[in-house]
Amino acid sequence: MDGLDIDELVGRAREGQPRAVARLISLVEDESPHLRAVAAALNPLTGNARVLGLTGPPGVGKSTSTSMLVSAFREQDLRVGVLAIDPSSPFSGGALLGDRIRMHDHTTDPAVFIRSMATRGQLGGLAAATPQAVRVLDAAGCDVVLIETVGVGQSEVDIVALADTTVVLLAPGMGDGIQAAKAGILEVADLFVVNKADRDGADQTVRDLKHMISLGRRELGASWRQPIVRTVATAGEGVADLTAALDEHREWLASHGELAARRARRAEREIEAIAVAALRSRLGVGQDALARLAKRVAAGELDPYAAADQLTAGHDGP
Amino acid sequence: MDGLDIDELVGRAREGQPRAVARLISLVEDESPHLRAVAAALNPLTGNARVLGLTGPPGVGKSTSTSMLVSAFREQDLRVGVLAIDPSSPFSGGALLGDRIRMHDHTTDPAVFIRSMATRGQLGGLAAATPQAVRVLDAAGCDVVLIETVGVGQSEVDIVALADTTVVLLAPGMGDGIQAAKAGILEVADLFVVNKADRDGADQTVRDLKHMISLGRRELGASWRQPIVRTVATAGEGVADLTAALDEHREWLASHGELAARRARRAEREIEAIAVAALRSRLGVGQDALARLAKRVAAGELDPYAAADQLTAGHDGP
């Protein structure tokens, strides 16, 4: 790491050199000692990329849909960055790349940068690292950054909710309607895609969604009406409808002052995630203290709130 | 809330009065001002319950399996508490109770206490509230506490990993093998259940799991070999195999000193979650400061790390 010239690295990333982009993302992902210097160097160069989030339950065709969207943006001659959030497994020793194979159409295109980010069991870390990776791609000149998450949990939702526009994918015949609602992904959707729309049950899924949207509107009270787009991503069907809906949402964001508001909210979460991670690691400094307190709690000698008070007060004995 | 007699409430909970148990869980779930007093009162009464976690992708039959296990424990004359972690949706105004209907066999049994805990968009809150709810059920005399999570995200995994024994459910024909691996739930499994084992593809799912377990063993290096149990929960098939496997794991935990180690780890996480929540809310005190910093970050004037430093240093100006 010695002699790392961050300005030079950022310069090469801006020229579109994939290795420089990859190196910068690694620096922010691994929380290197250079992290703060990298963040400071990137900052003035950011704010131009359109950030899209894509999520939905397993098996709905998220990677195929991402690939379809990348093709559509490439036809508009836009530079595209893709961040695929892959929870990792100790069984595979890292992110499983099966789904990524569908992205191989784009891997030789120098105007498309694809990066899998593994959670390594620490979504808290990803909550801090993902927005930094978005900043790298933004500073590197990507016109569009797509964040795709494979999970349906709240933490994955939090990550994808960093986007300017969040797309929730569903597919027919998986009981998704209610399961998606459970997973809390409906509330973050700016638009819905019913993929595999050529399958039986697509009409029912659309009806279920419309019903849920109508129930939700009372509470949401916003002027944006979540559209439902039908696609068959494997065949590229519906992609024009999808990009049109994305453009429409972008215009709505801009004309309602929502883009600035969302980006400010995103920055709030980003700052908070960094601050909490810093505070957490300060707590971790006293790992012996935490372990001693935990033993006393497990033994019933101390309740966990009293233990937490002692931990944050910086002493571990009575 | 005035005049709340916590000792009296805890006493009634120990007599098995469901309303007292429910009230105590509400107090810990809603982070009431009485939270610390409740935690202190419960603490000496805890440590007796066996805590089981149940998780898996949507649609594998978790609620039916929970219900089947509750019946089995009731036949052994054990008192059972069930905590169902339901991410909530603004569309439903709360936890969706569809799956809970399957639990209705047990709702009139006074020795079974069932509680749905909604995430309300704050899994961080649940990470702190769930162990406290376990403590309530433990103190109230439950012999077994079952935690069931519907999600497959990392945060849900973290919650279910609070258990002494964690059961991961899969079902044939959902491409679960690889999806489960992605969701990182394989690593937390002490035992696997292939539910809906009467369906086509059950043998394949078992084979896939065995393969993944064999790959993982090199890294895990533990002496416990994760068993795979086949069930048809709707018909109660395989329940004896499942309870036998649970008993076997319990004996393994006890004979290897793992039970104490796990409970100490659980206490560590619990303390850390409480401490981080406390620190986070201290940051929140300066919400104006956070909003001001976020605007500057969104405008590109300040990078998020510098903003986080300013936030944790307690001042928001340069």
Kindly state the average pLDDT of the residues B178-201.
Answer: 76
For residue B205, give how far its alpha carbon lies from the nearest alpha carbon of chain A (Å).
16
Between B91 and B213, name the one with better pLDDT. B213
Q: Which of A43, A86, A182 is the closest to B300 by Cβ?
A: A43
Structure tokens at A283: 């707590």
What's the complex ipTM?
0.75
Q: Which of B140, B141, B160, B120 is nearest to B23 (CA)?
A: B140
pLDDT, one tens digit per residue, over B263-300 is 988 888 888 878 877 777 777 655 788 889 998 988 88
In the CATH scheme, what is the code of domain B47-258?
3.40.50.300
Between B78 and B62, name the one with better pLDDT. B78
pLDDT, one tens digit per residue, over B131-189 is 889 999 999 999 999 998 865 555 666 667 689 999 988 888 765 444 555 445 667 78
| Per-residue pLDDT, A213 | 77
Angle, alpha carbons B193-B196-B202 (nearest 5°): 80
Mutate to test the interface with A, among B122, B154, B218 (most CBs of A within 10 A): B154
| Per-residue pLDDT, A125 | 60
Average pLDDT in chain A: 79
- A96 and B271 within 8 Å at the Cβ level: the answer is no
Nearest chain B residue to A122, by CA: B154
Q: Which single residue is written with the structure tokens 């376990």?
A: B134
Q: pLDDT-based confidence at A164, cuts 50/70/90?
A: very high
Task: Give yes or no for residue B102 having a pLDDT over 80.
Answer: no
Query: Which DSSP symbol is given to B202?
Result: H
Of the listed ranges A22-26, A95-99, A260-264, A296-300, the least confidently predicted one is: A95-99
- The class that CATH gives domain A45-256 is alpha beta
What is d(CA B128, CA B272) in angstroms, rounded to the nearest whole number?
9
Tell me how many residue pairs between chain A and chain B have CB atoms under 8 A apart. 283
- The answer to whether A91 contacts chain B (CB < 8 Å) is yes
Q: Which single residue is written with the structure tokens 């790390």?
A: B305
- Which of A90-104, A269-283, B7-21 is most confident? B7-21
- A312 and B279 within 8 Å at the Cβ level: the answer is yes
Provide the residue ranges of all domains of chain B, joining segments of one domain with +. Answer: 47-258
Strand partners, A89: A94
| Per-residue pLDDT, A107 | 65
Nearest chain A residue to B273, by CA: A308
Nearest chain B residue to A36, by CA: B305
pLDDT, one tens digit per residue, over A103-145 is 556 666 778 888 877 655 444 566 668 888 999 999 999 999 9
Nearest chain A residue to B263, by CA: A298
Task: Give yes or no for residue B99 having a pLDDT over 50.
Answer: no
For residue B150, give how far its alpha carbon lies from the nearest alpha carbon of chain A (Å).
8
Judge whether B173 and B199 are in contact, CB under 8 Å: yes
Task: Give yes or no for residue A230 having a pLDDT over 60.
Answer: yes
What is d(CA A13, CA B57) in angstroms, rounded to the nearest whole number?
39
- A294 and B268 within 8 Å at the Cβ level: the answer is yes
Kindly state the average pLDDT of the residues B36-43.
Answer: 90
Kindly state the average pLDDT of the residues B83-108.
Answer: 50
- The answer to whether A263 contacts chain B (CB < 8 Å) is yes
B169: enclosing H helix or E strand? strand B165-170
Structure tokens at B93: 């105004």
CA distances from A127 to B159, B196, B307 (A): 18, 36, 16
Task: Give yes or no for residue A53 having a pLDDT over 70.
Answer: yes
Of the listed ranges A16-20, A125-129, A229-233, B29-33, the least confidently predicted one is: A125-129
- A300 and B47 within 8 Å at the Cβ level: the answer is yes
Between B92 and B219, name the one with better pLDDT. B219
- The answer to whether B87 contacts chain A (CB < 8 Å) is yes
- The answer to whether B138 contacts chain A (CB < 8 Å) is no
- The answer to whether A156 contacts chain B (CB < 8 Å) is yes
CA distances from B216 to A92, A93, B184, B212 (A): 8, 9, 12, 6
- The answer to whether B129 contacts chain A (CB < 8 Å) is no
Maximum Cα–Cα distance across chain B: 67
Angle, alpha carbons B287-A181-B22 (nearest 5°): 75
Nearest chain B residue to A156, by CA: B153
Judge whether A130 and B130 are in contact, CB under 8 Å: no
CA distances from B247 to B15, B52, B69, B190, B262 (A): 27, 11, 13, 12, 17
Name, in order, each residue with C-beta under 8 angstroms of B263's C-beta and a sequence gap of 6 or more.
Answer: A298, B47, B164
**Which chain A residues touch B119 with a CB distance below 8 Å?**
154, 184
Of the listed ranges A106-120, A299-313, B240-254, the least confidently predicted one is: A106-120
For the CA atoms of B283, B285, B289, B294, the dihedral, rounded to the nearest 10 degrees, stands at: 50
Q: Which of residues 283-312 of A touch B (CB under 8 A)?
A: 283, 290-291, 293-295, 297-300, 302-309, 311-312
Look up the pTM and report it.
Answer: 0.68
For residue B201, give how far its alpha carbon lies from the nearest alpha carbon of chain A (Å).
17
- The answer to whether A6 contacts chain B (CB < 8 Å) is no
pLDDT, one tens digit per residue, over A249-305 is 999 999 988 898 888 888 888 888 788 777 777 776 557 888 899 989 888 889 988
A51: enclosing H helix or E strand? strand A50-55
Q: Which of residues 181-240 of B touch A (CB under 8 A)?
A: 181-184, 186-187, 212, 215-216, 219-220
- A268 and B291 within 8 Å at the Cβ level: the answer is yes
